Amino acid sequence: MCYDFTIMESLTDKPDSPRAPWQVVLAEAIGEPAELCRLLELPAAMAVTARKAMADFPLLVPRPYLSRIQPGDPENPLLLQVLPQEQEQTLVPQFTADPLGEVDAPCGPGLLRKYHGRLLILTSGSCCVHCRFCFRRHFPYPTMAAGKGVRSNLPVGPEGASHKSDLTPFPWEPAIRQVIADPSIHEVILSGGDPLMLDDRRLAQLAWRLAEIPHLVRLRVHTRLPVMIPQRVTDELIAWLRGTRLTPILVNHINHPAEIDDSVAEALGRLVDAGIVVLNQAVLLRNVNDRVEVLAELCRRLVDLRVLPYYLHQLDRVAGAAHFEVPHAEGLRLVRQLRGLLPGYAVPRYVCETPGGASKELLG
């Protein structure tokens, strides 16, 4: 019990207060396995393992997320998403560095164009958290952004885009040119990495540029920041998302109901209140959300916060993430069970991504 108290105290320090600037919270993110294990009362041996396992994708977890993890539980479903595990080093056939064939996709620098009517801009190469199952964990963002074909396994940390952003010209100019040139594009998706790693002033500039393109109708943001660092939902963010003629859509990434505490609920509520369409996508993950009660609870909680479950993704077969895979047949069973429990609108579409497909493939 006294441990709980210590943790509460260290986690409610200034950088983590609901009023702290998100950049401060971001800068305080944990990158050291020993510190993570100390804060969460986990055996020191887990830190040693994590240190070895994180060679190509370092540990990174913001403190607000950490505060939702029950101390002393190595099996905690939130912990499993962020703590590097020994299995990440195991080579498993069919789990590759670029499972979606995106590195060589012939679309141009800083953008992905796979589906009709939509263009995805790789707005930022960095994230506020390193999800161990991420299909972009081997993604050579810096070279993609520069439009070079050289592969490199550069891990990108929180210091990436945000600090240098004001000095560099718009790296997304080629994407904007493509949108202008193609009247069939009605929606731009800001993705990454995490687009909300950039500051609001820069994102506002991008939104205004996009709003000048007459055939563009919607602006969508794919982000994990509102759940990881709810302080990121600033008035300025809402202002640029709402401030153009484009219809704003924000897609969160929340995998487990315990990720949603009061501060996250409040942040999501402000987005919805502002008139932004707010959705959620989750990834089906072994030992994280592979039970129907957990998925149902996640969907209920989201709907009650006026956030609609959009996609449940089958894990992309990325090297280092094989231990997270839930077989397709089991996923189908889970989604059928969900349909028996929830209103239709609360059940996400269970999908996978196949290289070269015209859309995400509906599994059930």
Ligand X SMILES: *Cc1c(COP(=O)(O)O)cnc(C)c1O
Q: Binding residues for ligand X, per CB under 6 A?
A: 112, 114-115, 118, 120, 189, 359-360
Smallest distance, ligand X to C-beta of residue 10, A: 38
> Which residues in 38-169 belong to E strands, given as ranges?
111-112, 118-124
Contacts of 5 by beta carbon, 8 Å cutoff, 6+ apart: none
Determine, following the binding rule CB under 6 A, whether residue 131 of this chain makes contact with ligand SF4. yes
CA 346 to mean position of chain CA atoms? 20
Q: Within 236-275, which residues bind ligand SF4 (CB under 6 A)? A: 253
Q: What residue 60 binds from ligand SF4, ligand X, none (CB within 5 to 8 A, per partner kind)?
A: none
Q: What residue 118 binds from ligand SF4, ligand X, none (CB within 5 to 8 A, per partner kind)?
A: ligand X
Evaluate the omega torsion of the peptide bond into residue 269 and state whether it is cis, within 30 degrees of 0: no
Q: What residue 202 binds from ligand SF4, ligand X, none (CB within 5 to 8 A, per partner kind)?
A: none
Structure-token match 């963002």, residue found: 141
Determine, following the binding rule CB under 6 A, whether residue 129 of this chain makes contact with ligand SF4. yes
Q: Please give the Cα distance from 296 to 342 (Å, whole number).
A: 7
State which residue, 192 or 331, has the beta carbon closest to ligand X.
192
Smallest distance, ligand X to C-beta of residue 363, A: 13
Smallest distance, ligand SF4 to C-beta of residue 217, A: 25
Q: What residue 334 binds from ligand SF4, ligand X, none (CB within 5 to 8 A, per partner kind)?
A: none
State which residue, 7 or 190, has the beta carbon closest to ligand SF4.
190
Stretch that binds ligand SF4, among 27-35, 100-108, 131-139, 151-159 (CB under 6 A): 131-139
Smallest distance, ligand X to C-beta of residue 120, A: 4
State which residue, 29 or 282, has the beta carbon closest to ligand X.
282
Side-chain-side CA neighbours of residue 314 (13 Å):
21
Q: What residue 114 binds from ligand SF4, ligand X, none (CB within 5 to 8 A, per partner kind)?
A: ligand X
Integer CA distances (angstroms), 277 to 244, 268, 280, 282, 346, in order:
14, 10, 10, 17, 15
Q: Tell me which DSSP letter residue 217 carries.
A: -
Contacts 24+ apart (CB under 8 A), 258-262: 258/68, 258/77, 258/78, 259/65, 259/68, 259/78, 259/227, 260/227, 260/301, 260/302, 260/305, 261/67, 261/68
Smallest distance, ligand SF4 to C-beta of residue 45, A: 25
Smallest distance, ligand SF4 to C-beta of residue 170, A: 21
Q: What residue 120 binds from ligand SF4, ligand X, none (CB within 5 to 8 A, per partner kind)?
A: ligand X
Contacts of 49 by beta carbon, 8 Å cutoff, 6+ apart: 84, 85, 86
Q: Which of 83, 127, 156, 190 touches ligand SF4 (CB under 6 A)? A: 127
187-192/361-362 β-pairing: unpaired
Determine, following the binding rule CB under 6 A, whether residue 233 of this chain makes contact with ligand SF4. no
The SS3 call for residue 280 is strand
Structure-token match 């932004």, residue found: 276
Number of residues forming the site for ligand SF4 (CB under 6 A) = 10
Residues 264/226, Cβ–Cβ less than 8 Å? yes
Determine, following the binding rule CB under 6 A, whether residue 224 of this chain makes contact with ligand SF4. yes
Applying CB under 6 A, the residues found at the interface with ligand SF4 are 127, 129-131, 134, 136, 193-194, 224, 253
